[in-house]
Chain A
Amino acid sequence: MILSNSPALAPLSLLLAAILIPMVAFRRRWLAFPLALSAAAFATGISVVNLVRVLGEGTIHYHFGGWIPPIGIEYVLDPLSAFVTLVINTISLLVLVHARRSVDAELPDRAMPYYAVVMLMLTGFNGIVLTGDFFNLYVFLEISSLALYGMIAVGNKKSPVAAFRYLIMGTVGGSFYLLGVGFVYMTTGSLNMADVARIAPTLYHQPALVAALALMVTGLGIKMAIFPLHGWLPDAYTYAPSASSALIAPVGAKVGVYAIIRVVFYVFGVDFVRHSLPLTEILAWLGAIAIIYGSIMAIAQREMKRMLAYSSVAQIGYIGLGIGLANPYGIIGAVLHVMNHALMKACLFLVAGNYRLKLGHSTIPRLDHRVRKRMPWTTAAFTVGALSMVGVPPTVGFFSKWYLALGTIQNGRWLFLAALLISSLLNAIYFFRILEKVYMKPLEGETPADNDITRNEAPVSMLTPTLILGTALIVIGLLNAVIVTGIIRLIVPPGM
């Protein structure tokens, strides 16, 4: 009974928690966090079950209320959606464990509604990934976006402005996507993705369907924050509370990535995209520009969260480039990087959160070797995360870049390969300047004697997720061959 309904259980349990938290925890505030945590843990467990089922049984279609598509709405569990939901739920669970202390510190009176909104965001993310229906995807997209606006707006003084600008951009994105859905429905007469995938290849001379593809990718590109549609991202990540940026940055843009891969390669199909418009070429170029632009902007930042935000722009560029290459290596690299970047960014944002709690800031010029003495474990996790961002083997960052590089070589695109390599160098610049500050001894007499520094590490509930993620960066890096051959190879779209 539970097993046969498992595709629907992750979003539904999270939605239930979003409703239960304000009702149950209205009087008993302390209940909000355990409820949110148990819903996230349950969703993670279900995602594991789903992935195992998909690997054993193949693609699973779940019909809501027993209505057969295209009339009813279906959830589709294939290797791609099972993998991405598992990544989203696992990382969110770890970040949620970390979030309790930083929420208590930064949003003391608003913890209860905050957790409810977090649950809504996760419902939206899970729904976007699992649904097999265009309009259902739009609804989940807007649910998660509305939750994101709220989560960003509770930060510091400037955060409502950042949230408002994101809201305007996000609404344009959502509306473009909806318009695209309208064109799809008018030309094919269906909203079911599998149904449209059957009809679309015969219609690639139809301008309305080409327009639909362009509108959908533009709309989802805003959610994904691909250059030059990334304008909302740096402010939103910087001014949001630490817990929000750690929850949003690793997975928030990834659902946009997922939706683009789903729409472009699975619904419209490789052939349609090749014959209709140079979409993949544009995505690859935008990705390459984003990689260089994001890395250079990251070097110029003084605030760690803002630096990580610009580095996210660059990392999304990697994924865009992988999608744009439209060959198996590129897709493997892109999907692997969805997971790897989520792990790295979660780890680094948790470190920024730990610094903010214990040092009261995360400004790069003010970090020095005393930080390492005070918080050795957090700084160690930061080091692993930084090495992984640069792409030092055997951390995860190396392997996704490796597949992307193979993809550029396979297509003979040497300029893109150069962009990948240069960006590794730029990553090294902006991470090593921090590593230099925390590991090198300052010049004699520059800072006061450091024998009065006491160990003041972040609390266990914050340190454990940080260290788990830091270890995962190496362990998953070593196990990457298992993941690629076991799961991601199955994801390569048909016709590629």
Chain B
Amino acid sequence: MLDFFIGHYAYWFVFILMAIGLYGMTVKNNLVKKLIGMTIFQVSIILFFVAAANKWGATVPVADRANGPIDPTRFINPLPHTLMLTAIVVGVATLGVALALVIAIFKRYRTLDENLLLEEMRKEDDTE
């Protein structure tokens, strides 16, 4: 049992990060704090992929025949890393759109508190 926890310690950290991120996105009222939670959540998934690709005693996947025949066990799996480059780009784009929305919301309502925003919107619905 203990081996299971110690052997997978990287994943436990990742899942704790994930929980923190989800908590921030769902429970926090301030929109910027929600975005901080979102970033933590996305980063935890990136770390999950990278941790899974890791291999003890392996090195950068650059094949050089001068070092003898190519042995796949000596190299870290590069595919998850490249996938995560794309995921990082997606994350940055999402954050950019989200921040633009936050600015638009603040200009219109002068607040970033979700409860106040919803209350304000309900009032407007009633007056329409």
| A positions within 8 Å CB-CB of B | 135, 138-139, 142, 146, 149-150, 153, 157-158, 160-161, 163-164, 167-168, 171-172, 174-175, 178-179, 182, 185-186, 363
Chain B contacts to A: CB under 8 angstroms: 22, 25, 31, 34, 38, 41-42, 45, 48-49, 52, 79-80, 83, 86-87, 90, 93-94, 97-98, 100-102, 104-105, 108-109, 117-118, 121, 124, 128
In the complex, chain A residues whose CB is within 8 Å of the CB of B124: 157-158
Q: Measured between alpha carbons, how far is A50 from B51 in the docked complex, in Å? A: 41
Interface of B, secondary structure class, is: helix
Interface centre among A138, A146, A164 (most CB of B within 10 A): A164
A323 to B82, CA, bound (A): 34
State the Cβ distance, A124 to closest chain B Cβ, in Å. Answer: 12
Chain B residue with Cβ nearest A235: B121
Q: Is the pair A179, B83 in contact by a Cβ cutoff of 8 Å?
A: no
Q: Once the chains are docked, how many angstroms separate the CA of A71 from the CA of B121?
A: 50
Q: Which residues in A have their C-beta under 8 angstroms from that of B90?
A: 138-139, 142, 174
Q: Is the CB of A168 within 8 A of B45?
A: no
List chain B residues, Cβ under 8 A from A168.
25, 34, 38
Given contacts A175-B45, A182-B48, 5 further A-B contacts (CB under 8 A): A160-B104, A167-B98, A172-B25, A172-B41, A179-B45
| CA gap between A153 and B102 in the complex, in Å | 11
Docked Cα-Cα span, A146 to B100, in Å, equals: 12
Contact (A163, B48) CB under 8 Å given A142-B94, A171-B42, A175-B42: no
The CA of A181 and the CA of B41, in the complex, are separated in Å by 16
Q: Determine whether the beta carbon of A161 is less than 8 Å from that of B83.
A: no
Query: What separation, in Å, do the CA atoms of A161 and B125 have in the docked complex?
Result: 14
Check B94–A146 contact: CB distance below 8 A: yes
CB proximity of B69 to chain A, nearest CB, Å: 21
Given contacts A161-B121, A171-B94, A185-B80, contact A178 B25 (CB under 8 A): no
Residues in B neighbouring A161, C-beta threshold 8 A: 105, 109, 117-118, 121
- Out of B34, B87, B101, name the residue touching A163 (CB < 8 Å): B101
Cα-based distance from A84 to B90 in the complex (angstroms): 25
B93's partner among A146, A186, A363 (CB-CB below 8 A) is: A146
Q: Is there an interface contact between A150 and B97, defined as CB atoms closer than 8 Å?
A: yes
Q: Which residues of chain A are within 8 angstroms of B48 by Cβ–Cβ distance?
A: 179, 182
**22 contacts across the A-B interface (CB closer than 8 A):** A138-B90, A142-B93, A146-B94, A146-B97, A153-B101, A153-B104, A157-B108, A158-B121, A160-B101, A163-B101, A164-B101, A164-B105, A167-B94, A168-B38, A171-B38, A171-B42, A172-B41, A175-B45, A178-B45, A178-B87, A182-B45, A182-B49
A163 to B117, CA, bound (A): 13
Which of B52, B98, B128 neighbours the largest number of chain A CB atoms within 10 Å of its CB? B98
A163 CA / B99 CA spacing, docked (Å): 12
Tell me the bound Cα distance from A41 to B33 in angstroms: 43
Question: When the two chains form their complex, are residues B41 and A175 in contact, meaning their CB atoms are under 8 A apart?
Answer: yes
State A158–B83 Cα separation when bound (angstroms): 36
Contacts of A186 in B (CB 8 A): 52
Cα distance A142–B89 in the bound complex, in angstroms: 11
Give Cα distance in the complex from A132 to B41, angstroms.
Answer: 27
